[in-house]
Chain A
Amino acid sequence: MASLRLLLAKPWIWSFIGALLVWLATVAFTGGYGGGGMITAALSLAVFTVIVGVGQMFVITLGPGNVDLSLPANIGLASAVAMKVMDGNDQMIAVGLLAALACGMAIGAANYLLIWALRIPPIIATLSASFIIQSIDISYGRGLQIKPPPGFADFTNRQILGIPVLAILTVLFTIGAAIALQRMIYGRSVLAIGQNIRAAWLAGVNVGRIRFLTYTLSGALGGLDGALLAGYFRGANVDIGNEYLLASIAVVVIGGTSVAGGKANVPGVWGAALFLVLLLTMLNTFGVSAGVRLLLTGLIIVGVITAAGGQKALR
């Protein structure tokens, strides 16, 4: 009983409960048909949201105003870079992934350069950067119709006992991210900066370096996500990352990370991503129109955040 109460006190448990409820509602509607397949599909789609969600989480944890709005453009450009470098050739998969990662890291570093050199709010810096990245992508990826190498496409779609391989790898990655956040100097510094940037600086945290690393990390994850998405959906696309702007912010906040910074939650990102994907599946299963689907998605996001309540001020 005590352990149950302890579990319920965790901020991330609610997103998993939400995901479970949505799944149960859908299974009840279909009369138990396709419940397992739904989980497999939800896992494979949630992976992409989780990867960028973790990057966004580190950025948001840096404190008020920190957010990476360049992720969609970043994902779009990286997907084109990955496909062009791989060029449909199985031997080039690793090189293509590295190129996408490098492209994302360069974007993240450029974001921080703008924030640091021009002292402009990260929202505006990453927004302006995303305009430029988008143009580069449009011009670079014009008429790009390269299919991913067959080995890469298979890899992004492979399953073991109904569990997508990518999902297993992403779980390992998120465990690593959780350790980095809670047990490593880097993560503790991010949390410290989010709680009070001045206090962190006075305590000897190298604020500039940590913020630089965080934006670069977010960029790198965006780049990786772009390459994986291009593999999963069999081709790069300028608009491939569009939905991940809202999704990456939504999973971070629904997952129990504080928008005010200084308090992050890795498991919650998984719960929230599964919740969002299953929610879409449920509404599709119910056969509602696009308008009703958007309306309900919005109302449920507002409802969840209202029920979860805002964070009390840390000070």
Chain B
Amino acid sequence: MRPEMTAAPVETGPRSSSERGALARARLLRSLLPALSLGLVLLAIAWLNPRAISYFGFSLMLNLAIPIALATIAQMFVIAGNELDLSIGTFVGFVGCVTATWLKEAPLVGVLILLGSIGVYALLGALIHLRNLPSIVVTLGMSFVWQGLAILILPKPGGKAPDWLLSLMAFKPPFVPFPIIAALAIAAVVHFGLMRTSYGVILRGSGGNAAALSRAGWSLLKTKIVLFALTGLFGVLSGMALIGITTSADANIGNGYTLLSIAGVILGGGEFVGGRVSPIGAVIGALTLALAASPLLTFMHIPPDWQVAANGAILIIVLAARVLISRRER
């Protein structure tokens, strides 16, 4: 997607203190919105089924939250650079197939394949930058490639996750369920890397104002390669985590993740252009989707036919709330 250069809002002059206060409040509310929507979903679950709010309940409901959160973070990196990855779902499936076959039987080959696939992502970033290609189409093509490779590796559902991965994903820490700890850790690490380091600022800047960045002497080729490689890396982690939970693989196992990851980034306060993304928000968005996807709907006794619609409706409601808030910001 070719960005239109969206400049960050510039402070044009002194504002009155009340105006500034209102603006700051609106901004705060906006950054809290992902957490608010997660809280709302949790409240609804607690109200509908109080027993679900327990160590066991959360372990069960957030079962698939780790791979979804990782895939959302992966998508967030390309979105930070104003691109979009429509292949992340099939890529997660491909990684899953490698994990359940090569990584168990010949760990060295498995690791090499996975590292190689991250390399392919880096190359795609370079290709997209050098030839000025639309990332939507390139990743659309790649989604066929990953799916084809996945089917070649694992024609029939099966395989088995490596034992170390199984025991890692089955880890039961005291008091706080593992998915919550993992989500916190993922959010903290990525937040530090992308929001608090100087190169993280450069990476986001490549989405915010590429021309300014390149005139300041930074290589846009390098930022694009790094962003795509990070997407590949987190895609690999997502696929491995997924197989650690499901124990066996299927070439189509990750297909839903493409749309889920995009929705997660947007729910978490990210924007398609301008390098405005939030790792913490993205993880919260992923958790919200994971919870809203089935546990909430099951407790609400929504028939299976309408569960997909309820997902769409939840997305629309959260986004509508965001519009109401950001309208006040302007």
- Residues of A with Cβ closer than 8 Å to B? 64-65, 67, 114, 118-121, 123-124, 127-132, 134-136, 138-139, 142, 246, 249-250, 253-254, 259-260, 289-302, 305-306, 309-313
Contacts and interface: CB of A to CB of B under 8 A. Distances in A.
A292 B259 CA distance: 25
B137 A124 contact: no
A129 B155 contact: no
Contacts of A131: 308-309, 311-313, 315
Nearest to B135: A259
A121 B148 contact: no
B151 interface: yes
A298 B141 contact: yes
A65 B142 CA distance: 20
B309 A121 contact: no
Interface range for B: 35 or more
B95 interface: no
Contact of A128 (B4, B143, B316, B323): B316
Contacts of B84: 123
B137 to A, nearest CB: 5
B262 interface: yes
Interface stretch (B37-45, B126-134, B230-238): B126-134
A312 B132 CA distance: 8
B102 interface: no
Interface string B122-161: 0000010001111011101111111111111001000000
A39 B259 CA distance: 35
A310 B132 contact: yes
A118 B316 contact: yes
Contact of A118 (B140, B141, B263, B323): B323
B319 interface: yes
Interface of B: 1-4, 84, 127, 131-134, 136-138, 140-152, 155, 259, 262-263, 266, 272-273, 305-313, 315-316, 319-320, 323
A244 to B, nearest CB: 13
Contacts of B132: 309-312
B141 A260 contact: no
A interface majority secondary structure: helix
Given A123-B262, A135-B307, A65 B272 contact: yes
A136 B144 CA distance: 29
Interface pairs A-B: 8 shortest CB-CB: A131-B312, A298-B144, A295-B148, A294-B148, A135-B309, A310-B132, A301-B141, A298-B145
Contacts of A138: 305, 308
Contacts of A309: 131-133
21 contacts: A64-B4, A65-B273, A123-B262, A128-B315, A131-B313, A131-B315, A134-B308, A135-B309, A253-B134, A253-B136, A291-B149, A294-B144, A295-B149, A297-B141, A298-B145, A300-B141, A301-B140, A301-B141, A305-B137, A309-B132, A310-B133
A107 B145 CA distance: 32
A130 to B, nearest CB: 7
B249 to A, nearest CB: 14
